[in-house]
Structure 1
Amino acid sequence: MNPTQPAPAQPTTDTVLTDVTGMLRTVLAEYGDDDVPIGMATTFNRDLELESIDLVTLAGLLEERYGQRVNLAEFLAGMEFDEIIELTVGRLVEHVTESLKTAQAG
């Protein structure tokens, strides 16, 4: 793994969406689906058809990029099953943005 890259000084929805989209394209490339449109309303289950192992890969990519500031497993653990099934890219982006802002403030 590469060392953690520095996060933007002021994380914004746009910069985090760009990062997360790149990570998702990496995960989807394993299936040859790296050209699927990804936006804030894109769902992990219905639109991207990600499996639980794909979320593990995504968690690793998030940690590689942001370090311990963003913990996908902890984020998902606080959700009900239906919430996880309906999880959107936008909700993850919001979580990442807030986690980064909290880490910078603390």
Structure 2
Amino acid sequence: MLRTVLAEYGDDDVVIGMSTTFNRDLELESIDLVTLAGLLEGRYGQRVNLAEFLAGMEFDEIIELTVGRLVEYVVWSLKTTQAG
């Protein structure tokens, strides 16, 4: 999904790891996070709500958001909804 967003900028060959930041490393903007949120919702439905996840963060946390932290949130969300 992230590669889909990056492809819009021609950056689909960028190396992405768990410590990669959305802002500093990938230079994504808020509209890109909206696109990513839509892709996540399309794949997982309401079980993974990126907007809600980001709403619980301070501005600095959003700026420093890593791929790893988002992956952890997705895994947690899917486990939580599966168990519930």
Query: How does the TM-score come out when normalised to structure 1?
Result: 0.79
2:56 aligned partner: 78
- Deviation at residue 30 of structure 1 after TM alignment: 0.5
* Count of aligned pairs: 84
- Deviation at residue 27 of structure 1 after TM alignment: 0.3
- Deviation at residue 39 of structure 1 after TM alignment: 0.8
- Deviation at residue 90 of structure 1 after TM alignment: 0.2
1:44 aligned partner: 22
- Deviation at residue 79 of structure 1 after TM alignment: 0.2
Rounded to whole Å, the distance in 2 between the matches of 1:42 and 1:65 is: 22
Rounded to whole Å, the distance in 2 between the matches of 1:68 and 1:55 is: 16
1:8 aligned partner: none
Q: Tell me the alpha carbon deviations over residues 13-59 of structure 1, each in whole angstroms, 9 at most, x when there is no partner.
A: xxxxxxxxxx1110010010000001100000000000111000000
Is there any run of 5+ residues in structure 1 with no aligned partner, and where? 1-22
- Deviation at residue 80 of structure 1 after TM alignment: 0.2
2:40 aligned partner: 62
- 1:1-106 matches, within 5 Å, as 23-106=1-84
Query: How does the TM-score come out when normalised to structure 2?
Result: 0.99
The percentage of counterpart residues that share the same residue type is 92
Q: CA RMSD in A?
A: 0.4
Is there any run of 5+ residues in structure 2 with no aligned partner, and where? none
